[in-house]
A and B are shown apart, each in its own frame.
Chain A
Amino acid sequence: MLNYVIRRVFQSVVVLLIVGLVAFSMFRFVGDPIDNMLGQERTQADIERLRTQLGLDQPFPVQYWRFLENAVQGNFGVSYRQGRPVAEIIAERAPATLELAAVSGLFAIVIGIVLGVFTAIRREGWASNVIMTGSLIGVSLPTFLIGILLIYVFSVELDLLPSFGRGDVVDIGGWSTGFLTASGLKALVLPAITLGLYQMTLIMRLVRAEMLEVLRQDYINFARARGLSERVVNFRHALKNTLVPVITVTGLQLGSIIAFAIITETVFQWPGVGLLFINAIQFVDIPVMAAYLMLISVMFVGINLLVDLLYVAIDPRLRGEGNTT
């Protein structure tokens, strides 16, 4: 078991190194940051001085090594645009994105599983048909359109929820949270639904399909034949067996919730890292872009590692103590 974890962690590190390399080498082609940073009134000496100061005169492997060295210590350099340490800027913005992602992820998982199980059990009811048809909308509409629709209905027409921003935030040890104020919670509702709707419908359809498959299995029939109640059969025996594929997809989706928060953050003017990244691209702010990409890949790799460990927790067949006798 420990062996397995060590191997997975090792693989994760290799993945991160490769992602870093790819991201880092791509930035060499997005343009020369020096052009953007210095105004029209620059001299060749200014350019050379800044280039040396930023370490851009070094060969590529040296730059990459220095980047890794600093990154491991949590130092992602100084933003070309803002002139402040990148780590500081990201730490300022990350709570907004992480809170948004957590809420919409939770929304997607809970509602998705509940609706998926419901539509699988009541396969022929009218409610299931309504939900299944409605879920098509969630899959087919683009995120920004859903966001705009929600803003129109709930902010403009009904005036129930704010249309942009995080509301009031409370600062706890450098982490600014919107969970503790009424306006902060209200501000989370629309962006969280917008961001999580697609994942929710996806999880729902997946759970439903898996559940229908599992309900046909012999062990479900045998559980019924032993007189176990429908509730135990559906939620204990069947649901647990649907979880392995559901976790796979959910894990990947959670990663993309964080990565693709950019669009939602733009629509709702959410002060998260997604907005930061958009701005960084416009100004060729390489340290910010690099740090953002590393952050996202750490999240993806971390979630995947977690998913693999969850498999083992759920399915005893993967624990490799298979002495069939």
Chain B
Amino acid sequence: MSAILDIADLTVEFPTRREIFVAVDGASLTVEPGEIHGLVGESGAGKSTIGAAVMALLERPGRIAGGTIRLKNRIISGRDRAEMRSLRGSEISMIFQDPLTSLNPLFTIREQLTETITTHLSVTDAEAHERAHDLLARVGIPEPDIRLDQYPHQFSGGMRQRVVIALALCSEPDVIIADEPTTALDVSIQAQILDLIRELANERQVGVILITHDMGVIADTTDRVTVMYQGKVVETGATRLVLGKPNHPYTKSLIAAVPRPNVKLHRFPLLSYDGRATEFRIDDLARNWNKADTDSAKPLFEISGLTKRFLQKRSFIPSRRQYLVAVNNVSFDIRQGEVFGIVGESGSGKSTVARMIAGLYRADGGTILYGGQPVTGSGSLAWYRRQIQMIFQDPYSSLNPRMRVDAIVAEPALHHRLLSGKALRHRVDELLEHVGLGAAAGLKYPHEFSGGQRQRISIARALATQPRFLICDEPTSALDVSIQAQILNILKDLQEHLSLTMLFISHDLPVVRQMCDRVAVMQNGRLVEVRDAEALFASPREAYTRSLLKLMPRLDGLATEGIQDQVEA
């Protein structure tokens, strides 16, 4: 079998005023018909740049500085724009990461499909409409007749990604480049979309390049995999071999950092490949920590009958108003010093629960008792707010870009009038030092830091008031695996040494298994079950929990080098 796409020695450069940044450095890979070829690496590795180079959609001023791209034995790199445009969509197609933003919101699905079909195929209007209908049916969208005339906002995320795939299939391409096609989707939807891509590859003998940072997706879906690091290909081969017996030290460190669904580790091994890992220094922080003397027999939180509804349709008449019940009669306790996890798909209400506990939303029903005191009613809650802090999902939007890092970290303590002047400056320096950024980081602005470093800033900020309770809402889902491992280690250390109690929200089940002592499963606003984490993962009771666990990537074949000594008994 001959390769349908052959990338040889590809080099992509981005000239800037000062220097030439080499985004891809001599990368080679081939894709066979019907094969799904995984391209894995962390952000900045150059994997998306390869996809853009093949599509000739490199952002300016990027350019292909060397090497060739062959499609069916024809060289397609270095052709002019008009020629490339006629290839795009017809012989090679692309699927983007975020289905919510990759469809034009102002045109119906029919308009977008037929426009693409008539661009590439010489067909009559009627034939184009018929083809559009067939494509929607093919990608598994029910009632294509009705759906064709709807607009993108009337589709859910998973359905939109199916529409995107239908658009990519408009003219029978030979190669599809899928750039993180399921990263923005729920696990159950992710599985469906990956199945669909798999089917299409088998059925139509399309070659697929699947770009992702998710080892689970690579392990479950791809035939071969290429691992990239800083623009270079470090390893390539059959997926089973590369993941099971990695040769290159970078691949080994990457695989070791992947949270395992089947075993709980005490700490994540930081096989630092290039010495990037900066260790978190917890001991001095613990010495100065203002530990509350607590009665650990009593639960910290007692939550009963918690309910939240959002107004969906306004009306003058109360009986005609329509509500979305986001959280429906949820009760659980959070014990002193434990990490309590909430898992569920998007829309299950897990973040809403966290926001009600944080006091960001007012509960419509039920009570939250903190150390026996109600915190849902009216009255000053300053004492309560001082003891709880929150770490958000997106490290980019959760820090004010116009504030200096020292001001960001100091703000909570300043707000609660805990410290001022020298003592405050000392606390900020100390915290930045502890989270591994160094006190000098305080003089910079958030944009000068990477995602992982920003999340460290968020952690420092959350610790500024010496809280007893930390709410982490998907704290690592925007981060690369190796960075995720570092952040999770920091959180574990905090919990152990500072006897913090944590509420940990995530849709990533392997991460939850690593982090949590007890886990609550939520579905459509209701609590399905609350169990000890290990018991839940080992023997789920409820049918919904079982189906959720079944969707976890199995990762059985992954190398276990470096993680054995961390396995908890």
Contact = CB atoms under 8 A, between A and B. Distances in A.
Interface of A: 217-219, 221-230, 232, 237, 240-241, 314-317, 321-325
A222 B153 CA distance: 17
Nearest to A238: B104
B57 A227 contact: no
A323 B154 contact: yes
A223 B104 contact: yes
B558 to A, nearest CB: 32
A316 B170 CA distance: 24
Interface in B109-166: 115-116, 119-120, 151, 153-156, 159, 164
A306 to B, nearest CB: 19
Nearest to B97: A218
B154 A225 contact: no
A237 B104 CA distance: 7
28 contacts: A218-B101, A218-B102, A219-B103, A221-B96, A222-B96, A222-B167, A225-B55, A225-B88, A225-B93, A226-B89, A226-B119, A226-B167, A226-B170, A227-B86, A227-B116, A228-B89, A240-B107, A241-B105, A316-B153, A317-B105, A317-B151, A317-B153, A321-B154, A322-B154, A323-B154, A324-B154, A324-B156, A325-B155
A226 B101 contact: no
Interface in B454-504: none
Contacts of B297: none
Given A217-B101, A223-B104, A225-B55, A324 B93 contact: no
A319 to B, nearest CB: 9
Given A218-B102, A224-B88, A226-B170, 9 more contacts: A218-B97, A223-B104, A225-B57, A226-B93, A227-B87, A228-B89, A230-B85, A322-B153, A324-B156
Contacts of A217: 101
A219 B101 contact: yes
A224 B168 CA distance: 11
B12 interface: no
B153 A219 contact: no
A224 to B, nearest CB: 6
Given A225-B88, A322-B154, A241 B116 contact: no
Contacts of A230: 85
Interface residues of B, number: 36
Nearest to A319: B151
B167 A240 contact: no
A165 to B, nearest CB: 45
Contacts of B107: 237, 240
Nearest to B142: A325
Nearest to A318: B153
A258 B529 CA distance: 66
B98 interface: yes
Q: Which 10 A-B pairs have the closest CB atoms?
A: A227-B89, A227-B88, A226-B89, A218-B101, A225-B94, A316-B151, A222-B102, A218-B102, A219-B104, A226-B116
B226 interface: no
Nearest to A227: B89
Given A227-B86, A321-B154, A316 B98 contact: no
Given A221-B57, A225-B57, A226-B119, A316 B89 contact: no
A227 B104 contact: no
A226 B94 CA distance: 7
Given A217-B101, A316-B151, A323-B154, A226 B106 contact: no
A229 B118 CA distance: 12
Contact of A227 (B85, B105, B151): B85
Contacts of B168: 226
B367 interface: no
Nearest to B116: A226
A207 to B, nearest CB: 16
A11 to B, nearest CB: 15
Interface string B164-181: 100110110000000000
B77 interface: no
B119 A229 contact: yes
A8 to B, nearest CB: 15
A223 B103 CA distance: 8
Interface in B185-240: none
Contacts of A224: 57, 88
B523 interface: no
A225 B54 CA distance: 11
Contacts of A226: 88-89, 93, 116, 119, 167-168, 170
